[in-house]
Amino acid sequence: MYLLIIIIFVLGYAAIALEHPLQVNKTATALLTGVLCWVVYILGVGDTHLVSEQLYEHLGEISGILFFLLGAMTIVEIIDAHDGFSVITNKIKTRDKRLLLWIISVVAFFLSAVLDNLTTTIVMVSLLRKLIKDKHTRLVFIGMIVIAANAGGAWTPIGDVTTTMLWIGGQITTLNIMRWLLLPSLICLVVPLLFLSFKLKGVVDSHAVHEPTQNKVSNFEQKLILILGIGALVFVPIFKTITHLPPFMGILFGVGVLWVVTEIIHKNKAEHVKGTYSVVHALQKADVPSVLFFLGILVAISALESTQQLASMANYLDRTIGNLNVIVISIGLLSSVVDNVPLVAATMGMYDLQTYPPDHYFWTFIAYCAGTGGSCLIIGSAAGVAAMGMERIDFIWYLKHISWLALLGYFAGALFFIAQHYIMG
Who contacts 51 (Cβ-Cβ below 8 Å, separation ≥6)?
Answer: 38, 41, 42, 45, 306
Inter-residue contact 123 to 386 (CB < 8 Å): no
Inter-residue contact 167 to 173 (CB < 8 Å): yes
Tell me: the pLDDT tens digits for 188-198?
A: 999 999 999 98
In the chain (425 residues long), the average pLDDT of successive 10-residue segments reads 87 80 85 92 86 88 83 84 78 84 93 82 80 88 95 90 87 92 97 92 63 65 89 84 87 93 87 82 80 84 80 72 86 77 76 87 94 87 78 83 95 96 84
- Of 317, 421, 342, 329, give the one whose Cα is nearest residue 376: 329
Q: How far apart are CA 339 and CA 16, in angstroms?
A: 8
Torsion-angle region of 163 (φ positive above 0: left; ψ -120 to 50: alpha; else: beta): alpha
pLDDT of residue 210: 45
The DSSP annotation for 234-296 comes to: HHHHHHHHHH---HHHHHHHHHHHHHHHHHHHTTTS-HHHHHHTSHHHHHHHS-HHHHHHHHH
- Of 255, 264, 146, 271, give the one whose Cα is nearest residue 196: 146
Domain extents for the chain? 2-424
* pTM for this predicted structure: 0.73
pLDDT of residue 314: 66
Who contacts 298 (Cβ-Cβ below 8 Å, separation ≥6)?
Answer: 34, 58, 62, 65, 341, 342, 345
